[in-house]
A and B are shown apart, each in its own frame.
Chain A
């Protein structure tokens, strides 16, 4: 299947700093990308959906000013957690699909964020 690369796989940051997570589609055009968050022993919760060249659509309860999503190209989307706090510590995972080709969504490896 298609490959989605997410980086970094783990990151530890200090409270108050910002962290950027990258999600790249390596061999297809990702017209749509999804960002999920997973708390321990919980489901993956959709945070936002972004279409290339457009602003992201955030799910209810997700702060768009805190979780900045950029999807400026067909192969790259970034999630920036701004002014991170310990409660932002979580597992973040992206997925990408080629909407025009109506393919399934392919997932990245996920990023474990720990805010200390």
Chain B
């Protein structure tokens, strides 16, 4: 079945460091790929998405490129801030749009000043 694997956390970084959170997937067909972020005490929010191979999703300084050849969708940010501390979830959907999401386990990011 469909699955998403992302690196275990917590990932601990100093402010302004470079961030990479790895995400790989297995799926039938051609999935859409997503990154969601959950700030403390809040629900999940869509951070960025990509719907086809080689698409790059970007938002708030975060980027991820849909790599079909490596079945990956790694999340990157060039310079993290303390306010980026949150749990990040990689997800895929093989149905149209956002109908059914398969999530990774989530990666906690802790950024210190």
Contact = CB atoms under 8 A, between A and B. Distances in A.
Interface of A: 1, 4, 6, 9, 32, 34, 36, 41-44, 46, 49, 93, 95, 97, 102-110
Of listed B43, B89, B102, residue having the most chain A CB within 10 A? B43
Contacts of A6: 43
Interface residues of B, number: 20
Contacts, number: 48
Contacts of A93: 43-44
B113 interface: no
B103 interface: yes
A102 B97 contact: yes
Given A97-B98, A105-B98, A43 B45 contact: no
B7 to A, nearest CB: 13
Name B's interface SS.
loop
Contacts of A103: 98
Interface string B95-113: 0011111111110000000
A105 B101 contact: yes
A55 B103 CA distance: 24
A110 B103 CA distance: 15
Nearest to A105: B98
Given A43-B104, A44-B89, A104-B98, A109 B45 contact: no
A34 B4 CA distance: 19
B44 A43 contact: no
Interface string B39-50: 001111110000
